[in-house]
Structure 1
Amino acid sequence: MDEKELRALLSSVQNGSTDVDDALMKLRMKPFDDIGYAKVDLQRGVRTGTAEVIFGAGKTAEQITGIAGSMLENGQKTILVTRLDKEKAEQVRMQAAGRWQAEFFYNESGRIAVIGSCPRPDGIGRILVMTAGTSDIPVAEEAAVTAEALGNEVVRIYDAGVAGLHRLLAHLPEIMDATVIITIAGMEGALPAVVTGLADCPIIAVPTSVGYGTSFHGVSALLSMLNCCASGMCVENIDNGFGAAYFASMINHLKGYREAEQ
């Protein structure tokens, strides 16, 4: 049960369509499901507004399907699986099509899957996902799919780095229209600083491990972003598209944000 379902349940009690005892029974659900190799958090959606997400790296396909199965059996409608390789994804797909009878979507570039249906966008605006180069797209796709699975409208702009500044300036309307922007860059990590100087919304910078030797697998881009002089930017960890999208979704669901601007 997530926050929306909890509100719907409480509203149904208020209007008399649900019995108090029935509602109490639903709220008394066990807080987690112990399946041996994992304790599946069943009430995270109530506490934080977003259900638990499965981190696929380091888990077997059987463990992933076991955790997802527990979540589905306990009423979770949308399940996100990050860092999922193609071979494991195929095994999860077979389980979804067979036993679960659930929708399944896999983005190979972003190594991310959605089990079940994505919710309709209900954020206050749009999340813009931008990359400096084509090589940054895998991290961007992880971010974009995560944001969509969390109920956001997403706009993608790829290969708009500062090596050809005209490519970035061609997208000023999208930049000015966004509620929050995720900027993703490797090499020297310059893109977020430039975008922060153009936009009137929060900027989330994600360094990637793209680059030559002295990029140190993304450390150079990370340090560039941390030392940015433009105000209004926060920085995520190297290659952490998921974390950036989660944070962006929280911003995009702050209902008083645009009202305060108006």
Structure 2
Amino acid sequence: MASTLAYRLRNTVRLTGFEIVRTAPDGNMLAYHLHELLNLYRINCVFDVGARQGEYGRWLRGTGYRGRIVSFEPVRDNVRHLRASAARDPGWVVEPYALGATEGRATINVTNFTHFSSFRVPGRLAAELYADESKVTSTEEVAVHRLADVFDDVTSGIAEPRVYLKMDTQGFDLEVLRGARQALPKVIALQSEMAIKPLYEDNPTFDQAWPEIASYGYSLSGMFPVSLDPRLRMLEFDCVAVRDESAAGLG
């Protein structure tokens, strides 16, 4: 109720030509935005897809979120670190596989810096800007499941799942969404790392990816820079979107 009243107050003030703005205390606008969103939409489960070694889960706890976290990560060494991060947190579940559009197995490229590991191959721009970090050192064959198929299992025990879907799969986010279609009505909001200048071969750009996400019933909520080139041109940003049905239901 308080959030709804604040929203109405801000809109009323806008009609006078002014704006009420509350800045994030620590300057981290994504953390502030996400804190507000998770509370406003009563999110009780976060899917951390492309969890790597648990960085996002730890960061999420730091924002004050106390609901369930389900981390999906297929790379073996990452899973080991991820399980260590989640070991003392009963609300944090680790699923050691990838998510995609179809059930099966796939080969993932493991890089020097784990952030760059991907089903896609690092491209020319990655070689120019992140030569050492994006160098492929090995490959692994990993299991891939559809989110729609595992949704009920990973939300077991939650009476009415209200999910925030965070994706950071280095060019594979649309594949994750395509495998989640039947479950999307319960995905209240999502976060996808979007490319302006792709670092991977066959990596969709924002212009290519956003129309598909919008077609699933989502609207933009926030855009937060992730990486820039040496001339301060944006390479990637985190795109946050909310489900239109859920927004309409706030009243």
TM range (shorter): 0.3 to 0.5
With CA pairs under 8 Å and 6+ residues apart, which has the higher RCO, 1 or 2? Answer: 2
**TM-score relative to the length of structure 1:** 0.32
Greater share of helix: 1
Greater share of strand: 2
**TM-score relative to the length of structure 2:** 0.33
